[in-house]
Amino acid sequence: MSNASHFWALILGTVAALLPLINPLAAAPTFLAITEGDTPQRRLAQLKRACLYMIGILVSFLIGGTFIMAFFGISIPGLRIAGGILVVGIGWRMLMGARDRLPREKAAADEARAKADVSFSPLAMPMLSGPGSIAVTVGFTSLASHWLDYVAIILGILVVAAVSYAILRASHRIVSVIGLNGMNVLTKMMGFLLVCIGIQFVVNGIVGVAMEPELVRGIRDALRQ
């Protein structure tokens, strides 16, 4: 694969992996709930800050991902497997639906209404940059071998932030047009896509383990003991 093709593949891969996880369409009703009573100008200002916070959080974990892995002794295949399992769990809950989701969202919305500023919490974290998106972003460090690769991934994060901003800015119209049933269908579609992505992460991690003789010997020795 040429350098240009790899560059664009990283951008598209970042968008394809993060956008279903963040799922701004499904977050639209919650966004409206926690900003209920705000003026349009204040709601827009909080949304802008939340997207900037999201970019800062994900880029920080992307740049610091290598140091985090080295500090805790985490291998790249292990990170892929763990991240894949986490993504599968999130996608499965979205696909099958969680019975206690509405009460928890209502509690979060009630708590957010009492805060002066909700741009960082709960908007930026965990709505736009939760554990799943952070784990996937750290996992992308295994695909980056040159500074241009990091630039491509950061550009993908910027695209995801721009799409999330555009969707949440128009959230009132989207919710009124699509309706709750449409939002549920979109959430299930995103959930199925996340399950597929997560399983592929696990498969890549297992293949990575099989391709590293040192890891195989370490697992074999541990089983013998």
Q: What is the pLDDT of residues 124-163, one digit of tens each?
A: 887 888 777 887 888 787 777 788 999 999 999 999 999 9
Domain that holds residue 65: 3-224
What is the pLDDT, as a whole number, of residue 145? Answer: 77
For the ranges 23-27, 56-60, 152-156, 181-185, the lowest mean pLDDT is seen at: 181-185
Which pLDDT tens digit goes with each residue over 70-102? 777 777 677 778 777 877 877 787 788 755 444
Number of domains in the chain: 1
Measured distance CA(93)–CA(123) in Å, rounded? 20
Of the candidates 202, 110, 123, which has an alpha carbon nearest to the alpha carbon of residue 165?
123
Flag whether pLDDT at 109 surpasses 60: no
Number of DSSP helices (H) and strands (E) in the chain, helices first: 9, 0
For the ranges 5-9, 163-167, 204-208, 218-222, the lowest mean pLDDT is seen at: 218-222
Of the candidates 15, 20, 14, which has an alpha carbon nearest to the alpha carbon of residue 193?
20
CB 80 within 8 A of CB 204: yes
**146 DSSP assignment:** S
What is the pLDDT, as a whole number, of residue 67? Answer: 79
